[in-house]
Amino acid sequence: MALSRRTLLASAGSIAMTAGLTTACGTNDLDDLLVEAERPPEGPVTVRWWAGKIPARDGGDMRPAIIRAFRRKNPTIRVEIVKGLSTTDGNRVALTTQIGGGSTTPDVYLGDTTWPAQFGANYLALPVDSLVPESFWDPYPQALMQASSLKGKVYAFPCYTDAAYLFYRKDLLAKHGIPVPRTWEELERGARRIQRAGDADYGFVWQGSVSESLTCVVTEFLADAGGSVLDRSGRVAVADEPAQRAVSYLRGLVDAGVTPSAVTTFAEQDAMDAFAGGRAVFLRNWAYAWGMSEADGASKVAGKVGVVPRPGFEGRPDSGYACLGGWSNFINPNSENLGAAVAFARFCAGEEAQMMLLREAGVLPAMDTVLDGPAAARTGDPTITTTRRLKLVARPVQTPYYPQVSKAVYTQVNSAIGGSEPVGGALRAARSDITAALEGKAL
Amino acid sequence: MRNQTTRGWRRYINVVNIGALIIVVLTTAPLYWMATASFKGTGEISASPPTLLPGHPTTGNYADAFGGNSLGRYLFNSALVSVVSTVVVLALAFFAGYALARLPMRGRGPIMIALLMISVFPAIAVVTPLYLLERSAGMLNSYQGLIIPYIAFNLPFSIWILRNYLLGVPRALEEAATVDGAGPLRTVLSVILPLARPGLFTAGVFTFTATWAEFLMALTLNSEDSFRTVPVGMALFSSQYTVPYGTIFAGAMVATVPIAILVLVFRRSVISGMTSGAVKG
Amino acid sequence: MSTTGTTGTTTGEPSGAAARTAGKTTGKTTGKTTGRTARRGTARGTGRGTTERRLARAGWLYASPALTLIAAVTLFPILFSVVLSFSEVRLSYGGFRIEGFTTDNYAALAHSSAWFESLVFTLGFTLVTVVLELALGTAAALVLERLGAARGWILAVLLLPWAMINVVAAQLWGYLYNGTYGVVTWAIEALGGGEPAILGRPVPAMAAMAVADIWKTTPFVAIIVLAGLMQIPRDVYEAAEIDGSGPWTTFWRVTLPQLRPILAIAVLFRTLQAFGVFDLPFVLTQGGPGTATQSLAILGYKTLFQNLSIGPGAAVATSTAALVMGCCLLFLRAFRAQVDEGGR
């Protein structure tokens, strides 16, 4: 076999090359990086910012406006946009390949709020807590800080957040004399009445497909029922009694026909289409759904939609839980302009940029103090004015293995909702999958 | 020829024509929905029951695809990368395929197997090392940074198809040319090349479409917007929670046009290359 | 036009009959018609030794640009990935590094039910789609071969699905299969199929995926096979006609054996592609319902790019490649005579 001899030689060469490639750029020390990051830039520098479009309320893009405002304060730092994708997955592929491959650009990148622990643990994001005074984090939601940190270190600067709401058809509820539901049980009864009258195909639509969105839905319903995926001590609590109640409720919605069985294929778009097409009474969705359902022409239900915090379960004291979503700015530890990168990320988290987001953008600013101010009320956007009434819950993201944990949740619960697994069995399977994931043993 | 005497439309009813009709209908039915959806407004796209024709035809989706996004630029990049890759692949694969089919080199079997092994390796696994390689070579964010890997990863299949195709070409022809005093290179170019046209067409179509649609390398190797290709550009259409079917389909319609033109242009040469053996009277 | 005789008249080349009788003509013969006689001619000329060596040198000369380029670009990434799959990979600031040899990554696969489920799905998907695509593609090629003027146009139409960007084609099918307003869903409902939730149940989801794949890649098979059909010499058919074979017998006895080298390629490369199926499940179901449609490529992708588990991800990829390679080698062994015909 002449081939194998040649292959062996080539592979030996290739291993040597590998070693060369990785050691050549693997010598950075965290302390040096942090010193570097504290130093303000000398002379003009360019920071490259990887970010998907931040939609403005008028359909435009907020990114250039934020950069202009930053330039006014920091004339020596130029910021260039690298058009990022807007989907979490596409961005993750592009960014992990680049930064894991040692690339010095982008210097700052806008990433999902579920990333910090994983990216921090994998050296793809610089810990930034030592660069700012402790009081810096005070104006941001507790859940966001929780989501952004791992083992006491914070890996991302807040940019904007997202939260889930219950959207409902004002006209249909009024027609049937049904009050806005305060519990899930009420919602189910009301929806069924309207469906029976033939006024809507579906009672309640949400996201049940095999994706991160389902983990969000489950996180919320678990909170409603008084549970969580991981409890305070880090134990896997996903098969406990509250989880049984939460997932049984979701399964029951499908069995009762309140939620279509196609919900197991629903992502945000599908649920939104059903609601905006006038086919559903209730919708669980993120803040963007307000603008979508009020859009003339695209939506059949414009002017007939109400927004409230999510209800709770009967007999439980709490309601209004909402999964925390959104995007934060991360610093590429390989960046050659760490000081400038940090300055820009801090600016996006600061009051001026947050006020711009509040006034002009179609996203929720991360800063509570901005949301509390009078300017928030003036927007007239119910998702903004109700945000402070929400109880934001973070997904169990404080582990480097969050993607595996989430996958265990959404695949098993999806099977339970679709009816191919009993609820109890699916949750026990989820528990063992999550346990394996937390030990780093899951694929 | 005999059945041509049958009068009227009935003479068109035969297995071949019905088969062709079925092929066309099955192929185009999904495309029809894509085409009409690209002219529908946001509400109508998700209307139930679906509408057969756009109720209020709009070109808004096309405006979105071109205006809000630099689709024109992406199209140019894609065309450049795909055309150059395809031409180089065909040139290199033709000679390699001929050599492997015909010339008495030792180790042809292992070479063919090795080529196969390259083709079986999943793209997700090679993209990170490729990134490292290109970064150290300073080839990121450039046209050649995409073209070179595209050529290398598409060559194996093209070599396979041309070699197997050329196996079927009678040897006597080259021998005749050699006896006539033609050198080996002239024999290949004047005798084999014209015969290889259907094989080249197949390999060319394969390479062009594969490079035209490639996503993962294009996404990771070229992060600069000015070097991005259509598939990556179209992935930029989606936002986190929305899949704008209208815009995507409008983009897809536009992205399909170059392929259709290419096929229609080369159709003639291919058909003439094919007909000599295919006329069934 | 008669069934025998002059061919290639449009390009002004000598007729097949002339070529056959003369044995050698000017260098411009197309030779589509020389057929059996020539094919069976095994004479390689005299003065073997030196000629052979000269020809072999020419062979390496012709093949080396392609082979060098392939080796230069693909060898490193592939071997790198294989090395990673046997390594403990640690990330650090400035990129990841390899620390030590381990087989843990493969042990993790062997202990993972997800990997086995993915393997079963991928194998099943490959088997079903390749068989159906081959059958339908060959049928389509036979139809195309017999078409006259319309052939070029139909060829162009056929190529449209194949030329579509994979992700977009998957999105198109996602649109057609949409659980609330998709036209397929609507049609099934109209035919009394209740609320189908096509992509929400394992078996319909798999079937839907197979249909989408068949739609997209059958044209590719058809074109490969068509190129092969074009190459079959006329007189082979004539001989069959003289023997009084019907069309069916002719197909099995004459056409199919002649097509084998080409069909082998189609099988080989369709298998490779089907084994790597990614975009369809990724867009249509994200691997669901549950993990019913999680292909090996999706599993590898999630492991590599979502979990950032580089070692296990490389192991998924490498083991997939090894499995496909194994299948291909078995296939080649079984069809050795056909694929290697004239090759040694």
Question: Is the pLDDT at C172 greater than 60, yes or no?
Answer: yes
Question: Is the pLDDT at C295 greater than 90, yes or no?
Answer: yes
List all chains that touch chain C, counting a touch as 3 or more CB pairs closer than 8 Å. Answer: A, B
d(Cα A114, Cα A405) in Å, to the nearest integer? 12
Is CATH 2.70.98.40 correct for C104-339? no
Amino acid at A422: P
Compute the count of residue pairs across chains A and C with CB atoms less than 8 Å apart: 165
Give the rounded percent of residues in chain C with a pLDDT score beyond 90.
29
What is residue B257's three-state secondary structure? helix
Per-residue pLDDT, C40: 38
b/e map of C262-285 (b: 16 or more CB within 10 Å)?
A: bbbbbbbbbbbbbbbbbbbbbbbb
The answer to whether the CB atoms of C181 and B47 lie below 8 A apart is yes
Say which DSSP state A42 is in: P
Compute the count of residue pairs across chains A and B with CB atoms less than 8 Å apart: 91
Per-residue pLDDT, C47: 56
The answer to whether the CB atoms of B46 and A273 lie below 8 A apart is yes
- Band of pLDDT at residue B98, cut at 50, 70 and 90: very high
Listed as ranges, residues in chain A with pLDDT below 50 are 1-16, 19-27
* Closest residue on chain B to C137 (Cα): B23
What is residue C161's three-state secondary structure? helix
Strands (E), chain C: 87-92, 95-101
Q: Which residue has the tokens 């190797």?
A: B221
Per-residue pLDDT, C16: 37
* Closest residue on chain C to A213 (Cα): C286
Q: Which two tokens stand for residue C189?
A: 């409902």
Chain A residues within 8 A of B225 when measuring between CB atoms: 82-83
Per-residue pLDDT, B41: 87
- Band of pLDDT at residue C14, cut at 50, 70 and 90: very low
d(Cα A254, Cα A418) in Å, to the nearest integer? 8
What is residue A305's three-state secondary structure? strand
Question: Is the pLDDT at C42 greater than 80, yes or no?
Answer: no
Per-residue pLDDT, B269: 58
Of B22-31, C28-37, C98-107, least confident by mean pLDDT is C28-37
Is any Cβ of chain B less than 8 angstroms from the Cβ of A15? no
Domain boundaries, chain C: 104-339
Question: Is the pLDDT at B3 greater than 50, yes or no?
Answer: no
Q: Which of A308, A358, A362, B255 is nearest to C172 (CA)?
A: B255
Query: To 5 degrees, how large is the angle CA A195–CA A197–CA A201?
Result: 30
Asked whether the beta carbons of A351 and A138 are under 8 A apart, the reply is no
Asked whether the beta carbons of C277 and C122 are under 8 A apart, the reply is yes
- Band of pLDDT at residue B7, cut at 50, 70 and 90: low
Top residue of B164, B248, B249, B254 to mutate, by most chain C CBs within 10 Å, is B164
Chain C residues within 8 A of A203 when measuring between CB atoms: none
The answer to whether the CB atoms of A298 and B41 lie below 8 A apart is yes
**What distance in Å separates residue B215's CA from the closest CA in chain A?**
10
- Report the relative pairing of strands A157-169 and A280-286 from DSSP bridges: antiparallel
Query: Phi and psi for C190 in degrees, rounded to 5?
Result: -65, -30
Per-residue pLDDT, A20: 46
Question: Is the pLDDT at C83 greater than 80, yes or no?
Answer: yes
Q: Which two tokens stand for residue A345?
A: 């990320």
Dihedral of CA B214/B215/B221/B226: which sign?
positive
Q: What is the pLDDT of residues A337-347, one digit of tens each?
A: 999 999 999 99
What residues contact B186, with CB distance under 8 A and at least 6 apart? B177, C27
- Band of pLDDT at residue C71, cut at 50, 70 and 90: very high
> C109-115 — which CB contacts under 8 Å span 24+ positions?
C109/A443, C109/C312, C109/C315, C109/C316, C109/C319, C111/A441, C112/A442, C112/A443, C114/A442, C114/A443, C114/C291, C114/C294, C114/C299, C115/A443, C115/C296, C115/C299, C115/C316
Question: Is the pLDDT at C135 greater than 70, yes or no?
Answer: yes
Query: Phi and psi for A425 in degrees, rounded to 5?
Result: -65, -45
**What is the per-residue DSSP string for A152-214?**
TEE--EEEEEEEEEEEEEHHHHHHTTPPPPSBHHHHHHHHHHHHHTTS-SEEEE---SSSHHH
Which neighbouring-strand residues pair with C292? none
- Band of pLDDT at residue B267, cut at 50, 70 and 90: low
Chain A residues within 8 A of C290 when measuring between CB atoms: 210, 411-412, 414-415, 418, 420-421
Q: Which two tokens stand for residue A14?
A: 């290739």
Domain boundaries, chain B: 16-58, 67-278
End-to-end Cα spacing for chain B: 7
> What are the respective helix, strand and coil percentages of chain C, to the nearest 5?
70, 5, 25
Asked whether the beta carbons of A188 and A253 are under 8 A apart, the reply is yes
Which helix or strand (DSSP H or E) is residue A388 part of? none
Q: Which two tokens stand for residue A86?
A: 């807007």
Which residue among A26, A118, A209 places its CB closest to the CB of C97?
A26
What is the Cβ-side half-sphere exposure of residue A428, based on CA atoms within 13 angstroms? 5
What residues contact A356, with CB distance under 8 A and at least 6 apart? A62, A65, A66, A69
Say what the alpha-carbon torsion angle C111, C117, C122, C128 is, to the nearest 10 degrees.
140
- The CATH architecture one would assign to domain B67-278 is Orthogonal Bundle (1.10)
Asked whether the beta carbons of A11 and C79 are under 8 A apart, the reply is yes
Q: Which of C99, C58, C74, C82 is nearest to C319 (CA)?
A: C82
Asked whether the beta carbons of B210 and B202 are under 8 A apart, the reply is no
Which neighbouring-strand residues pair with A183? A312
d(Cα A88, Cα C47) in Å, to the nearest integer? 67
**What is the per-residue DSSP string for C266-329?**
HHHHHHHHHHT--HHHHHHTTT-STTTT--HHHHHHIIIIIS--HHHHHHHHHHHHHHHHHHHH
- Band of pLDDT at residue C41, cut at 50, 70 and 90: very low
Which residue among C41, C72, C171 places its CB closest to the CB of B248?
C171
What residues contact C315, with CB distance under 8 A and at least 6 apart? C85, C105, C106, C108, C109
Query: Phi and psi for A317 in degrees, rounded to 5?
Result: -70, -25
Chain A residues within 8 A of C92 when measuring between CB atoms: 26, 28, 123
b/e map of A354-370 (b: 16 or more CB within 10 Å)?
A: bbbbbebbbbbbbbbeb
Q: Which residue has the tokens 């197309």?
A: C30
d(Cα C134, Cα C137) in Å, to the nearest integer? 5
Higher pLDDT, residue B197 or A313: A313
Chain C residues within 8 A of A263 when measuring between CB atoms: 179, 200
Which residues between 147 and 186 in chain C have a beta carbon less than 8 angstroms from any beta carbon of chain A? 178-181, 185
How many other β-carbons are positioned within 10 Å of the β-carbon of residue A159? Answer: 26
Per-residue pLDDT, B16: 85
Chain C residues within 8 A of B128 when measuring between CB atoms: 81, 304, 310
Query: To 5 degrees, how large is the angle CA C240–CA C245–CA C250?
Result: 70
Q: Which two tokens stand for residue A240?
A: 């406990």
What is residue B1's three-state secondary structure? coil
Which residue among B128, B236, B239 places its CB closest to the CB of A101?
B128
Domains identified in chain A and CATH numbers: 30-161+324-385 (3.40.190.10)
- Band of pLDDT at residue C12, cut at 50, 70 and 90: very low
Region B257-273: mean pLDDT is 67
Interface pTM (ipTM) of the complex?
0.86
Amino acid at C35: G
Higher pLDDT, residue C129 or C235: C129
Top residue of B85, B89, B103, B216 to mutate, by most chain C CBs within 10 Å, is B103
Q: Which two tokens stand for residue C110?
A: 């062997």
Per-residue pLDDT, C100: 81
Which helix or strand (DSSP H or E) is residue A280 part of? strand A280-286
Give the rounded percent of residues in chain B with a pLDDT score beyond 90.
29
Q: Has this prediction a pTM greater than 0.90?
A: no
Per-residue pLDDT, C96: 72
Per-residue pLDDT, C341: 45
What residues contact A177, with CB distance under 8 A and at least 6 apart? none
Distances (CA, A) of A249 to A185, A242, A314, A431: 9, 11, 12, 19
What is residue A80's three-state secondary structure? strand
d(Cα A195, Cα A206) in Å, to the nearest integer? 16
Mean pLDDT of chain B: 84
d(Cα A326, Cα A435) in Å, to the nearest integer? 27
Question: Is the pLDDT at B1 greater than 50, yes or no?
Answer: no
Q: Which two tokens stand for residue A118?
A: 């994983």
Per-residue pLDDT, C22: 37
What is the Cβ-side half-sphere exposure of residue C301, based on CA atoms within 13 angstroms? 23
Per-residue pLDDT, B270: 57
